[in-house]
Copies of this chain bind each other. A is one copy, B any other.
């Protein structure tokens, strides 16, 4: 960001963005049998945070979340779900993040500036295909945007540790009533890969035979006909999601106990 743009953002940002409200997104991906989450390493603070930002004055929060994710991942059409709004008055994001701006740009933000006021944050979680996020982009105040293993999280800033826990809870609850996978897996996948995804999210192990029967019973999968060859052992079938049936299952709900 240029310094004159920055000054404009500090002085007039509240005319463009809705003050006191922000968005934070927990972006989940699946890679090598591990659930990953997209995090940003801050430049002048000792820790990482979820990607987030402000809502435009005339913008729906859902649209803002999509816009912000597009900036970080380059992806459109991401599966996004609002799950909770965090309103603790003690959330010290404001102080910390405006301090980061001051340090980074060598400016002083007045105490009564909109960037130093309390913010309520709307939490979203997103499910994306890991391999499609090849080059996640940090923003002006962060130096790195990277996937982190959900079991090996770095130091998190603000209340983002809680945000991630709650997002995981919401994702697990969602998994029981709605199919998950279309957004996390590549177009074609094996039954075992799908099972590993479920096992990872639910943090448990599942019976291979029963998982197969249950998923096929949902009628949301179709065989692609192709089989990956060249590998050792019996080659598994490849499946893809039947988009029509998947959408129906999303709408009406399923039961994955």
Interface residues in chain A, defined as those with a beta carbon under 8 Å from any beta carbon in chain B: 18-21, 55, 57-62, 82, 84-85, 87-89, 118, 120, 122, 173, 177
Which of A82, A88, A89 has the most chain B CB atoms inside 10 A of its CB? A89
Other-chain residue from B62, B88, B118 in contact with A57 (beta carbon distance below 8 A): B118
Given contacts A19-B20, A20-B21, contact A120 B87 (CB under 8 A): no
Give Cα distance in the complex from A228 to B233, angstroms: 71
CB atoms of A89 and B58 under 8 A apart: yes
Nearest residue in B to A58 (C-beta to C-beta)? B89
Nearest residue in B to A121 (C-beta to C-beta)? B85
Chain B neighbourhood of A84, CB < 8 A: 82
Given contacts A20-B21, A82-B84, A84-B82, contact A59 B89 (CB under 8 A): yes
Other-chain residue from B88, B118, B177 in contact with A18 (beta carbon distance below 8 A): B118
Interface of A is mostly: mixed
CB atoms of B21 and A120 under 8 A apart: yes
Which of A21, A58, A122 has the most chain B CB atoms inside 10 A of its CB? A21
21 sample A-B contacts, Cβ–Cβ < 8 Å, listed by A number: A18-B20, A18-B118, A18-B120, A19-B19, A19-B20, A20-B20, A20-B21, A21-B21, A21-B87, A21-B120, A55-B87, A55-B120, A57-B89, A60-B87, A60-B89, A61-B85, A62-B87, A82-B84, A82-B85, A87-B122, A173-B177
CB distance from A227 to the nearest CB of B (A): 38
Chain B neighbourhood of A57, CB < 8 A: 89, 118
Which of A19, A20, A84 has the most chain B CB atoms inside 10 A of its CB? A20
CB atoms of B19 and A122 under 8 A apart: no
Nearest residue in B to A84 (C-beta to C-beta)? B82
Other-chain residue from B19, B58, B122 in contact with A85 (beta carbon distance below 8 A): B122
Give Cα distance in the complex from A82 to B55, angstroms: 21
Chain B neighbourhood of A59, CB < 8 A: 89
Nearest residue in B to A120 (C-beta to C-beta)? B21
CB distance from A242 to the nearest CB of B (A): 26
The 8 closest A-B pairs by CB, nearest first: A61-B87, A85-B85, A20-B20, A58-B89, A21-B120, A85-B122, A18-B20, A60-B88
Nearest residue in B to A20 (C-beta to C-beta)? B20
CB distance from A163 to the nearest CB of B (A): 14
Nearest residue in B to A89 (C-beta to C-beta)? B58
Give Cα distance in the complex from A122 to B82, angstroms: 12
Chain B neighbourhood of A19, CB < 8 A: 19-20
Chain B neighbourhood of A60, CB < 8 A: 87-89
